[in-house]
């Protein structure tokens, strides 16, 4: 492709969740040409979160879809362009980064990767049908809805144990369903034992999750199998929290930037990856807190650092 025919943007942001949309608000206000690529729904996981109760500035809370729509409208008001499509590969070509997309090859002076992570699913019947209506993946986001209720938590790693302990602030009782054995750290297992001893949490080892059952548009029980006896067990519940891991959306850059052990993108304090001109923010970044508010904050920080990078590059080219 000749230089004249290259489609070049100042910055291309991959993903259009809270991190990228917040970043776009900042870059476009400073007349930085900004294009966002989103393969799913603008707003990311926030858009499919039933209710957000802990986003600063909204004392009554707000629907996740409303928050996502407001972020999108604000970014677009300043000139951000959101294109539905996918980025399959990024190549570092020095001054420009080449992005192979479903809309053809594009080039950017800087790139922000804000593709987030997807919650791993159990895949059992009822999980998808009752998502955000009794099935959840974030205790901090949704735990408070279950004050004085019974809960089932699925998982046996650090997150499952940690979040089960957190959920005892609200729930009267938690059944923790563990496929094999607890794999959490020794410290967390000791903390867990305190809640087992006081009756707040019951741990069910070697227990498979077979189905999440609902009635009248709400979850009423989880059906499991005791692997030792082969017998089915019903766990009556008002809600289910699934913590079986996260799947970072970083496969397309695994050969470009440095990743941590679980596939999250490593950055420095300036949210710069191992490749000059390529930044990362939000849930895809190693060390992220997986909160909408912090993702928005990281987006703002990334935008400022991208501006500094572009200014420095322009000075060098002069």
pLDDT digits (tens, 9 = 90+) for 215-266: 999 999 999 999 999 999 999 999 999 999 878 999 999 999 999 999 999 9
In whole angstroms, give the CA distance from residue 206 to residue 4.
Answer: 62
What is the separation of C-alpha 199 from the centre of its chain, rounded to a whole number of angstroms? Answer: 32
Greatest Cα pair distance, the chain, in angstroms, is: 74
Query: Which is more confident, 60 or 118?
Result: 60
Residue 118 has a pLDDT of: 85
Mean pLDDT value across residues 193-203: 98
Mean pLDDT value across residues 42-62: 86
Query: Which is more confident, 283 or 141?
Result: 283
Residue 290 has a pLDDT of: 84
Answer yes or no: is pLDDT of 311 > 60: yes
Answer yes or no: is pLDDT of 190 > 70: yes
Percent of the chain past pLDDT 90, that is, above it, reads 83
Residue 236 has a pLDDT of: 98
Domains for the chain: give ranges and CATH numbers.
3-118+246-317 (3.50.50.60), 121-242 (3.50.50.60)
Residue 64 has a pLDDT of: 86
In whole angstroms, give the CA distance from residue 240 to residue 224.
Answer: 13
Answer yes or no: is pLDDT of 101 > 70: yes
Q: Provide the pLDDT confidence category of residue 47 given band limits of 50, 70 and 90.
A: confident
Mean pLDDT value across residues 180-194: 95
Structure tokens at 174: 């938690």
Residue 1 has a pLDDT of: 43
In whole angstroms, give the CA distance from residue 75 to residue 64.
Answer: 17
- pTM of the predicted structure, to 2 decimals: 0.75
Residue 220 has a pLDDT of: 98
Rounded to 5°, the CA angle 16-286-73 comes to 15
Q: Are 45 and 141 in contact (CB under 8 A)?
A: no
In whole angstroms, give the CA distance from residue 101 to residue 195.
Answer: 50
Sign of torsion over alpha carbons 226, 165, 182, 136: positive
SS3 190: helix
Answer yes or no: is pLDDT of 316 > 80: no
Answer yes or no: is pLDDT of 317 > 80: no
Answer yes or no: is pLDDT of 2 > 50: no
Q: Are 227 and 206 in contact (CB under 8 A)?
A: yes
What is the separation of C-alpha 318 from the centre of its chain, rounded to a whole number of angstroms? Answer: 40
């Amino acid at each position: 492709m000749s230089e004249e025919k290259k489609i070049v943007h100042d910055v291309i942001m991959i993903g259009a969740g809270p991190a990228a949309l917040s970043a776009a608000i900042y870059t476009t206000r400073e007349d930085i040409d900004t294009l966002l690529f989103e393969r799913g729904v603008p707003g990311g996981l926030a858009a499919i979160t039933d209710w957000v109760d802990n986003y600063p500035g909204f004392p009554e809370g707000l629907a996740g879809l409303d928050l996502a729509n407001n972020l999108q409208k604000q970014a677009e008001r300043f000139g951000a362009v959101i294109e539905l499509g996918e980025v399959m590969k990024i190549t570092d070509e020095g001054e420009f980064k080449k992005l192979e997309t479903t809309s053809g090859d594009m080039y950017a002076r800087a790139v922000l990767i804000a593709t987030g992570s997807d919650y791993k699913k159990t895949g059992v019947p009822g999980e998808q049908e009752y998502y955000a209506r009794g099935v959840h993946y974030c205790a901090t986001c949704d735990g408070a809805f279950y004050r004085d209720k019974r809960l089932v938590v699925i998982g046996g790693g650090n997150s499952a144990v940690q979040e089960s302990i957190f959920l005892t602030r609200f729930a009267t009782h938690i059944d923790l369903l563990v496929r094999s054995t607890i794999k959490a750290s020794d410290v967390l297992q000791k903390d867990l034992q305190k809640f087992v001893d006081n009756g707040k949490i019951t741990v069910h080892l070697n227990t498979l999750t077979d189905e999440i059952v609902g009635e009248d548009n709400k979850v009423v029980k989880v059906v499991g199998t005791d692997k030792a006896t082969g017998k089915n067990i019903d766990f009556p519940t008002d809600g289910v929290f699934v913590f079986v891991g996260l799947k970072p959306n970083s496969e397309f850059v695994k050969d470009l930037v440095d990743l941590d052990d679980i596939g999250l993108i490593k950055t420095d304090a300036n949210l710069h990856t191992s490749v000059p001109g390529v930044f990362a923010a939000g849930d895809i970044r190693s060390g992220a807190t997986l909160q909408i508010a912090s993702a928005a904050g990281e987006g703002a920080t990334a935008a400022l650092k991208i501006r500094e990078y572009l200014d420095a590059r322009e000075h060098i080219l002069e």
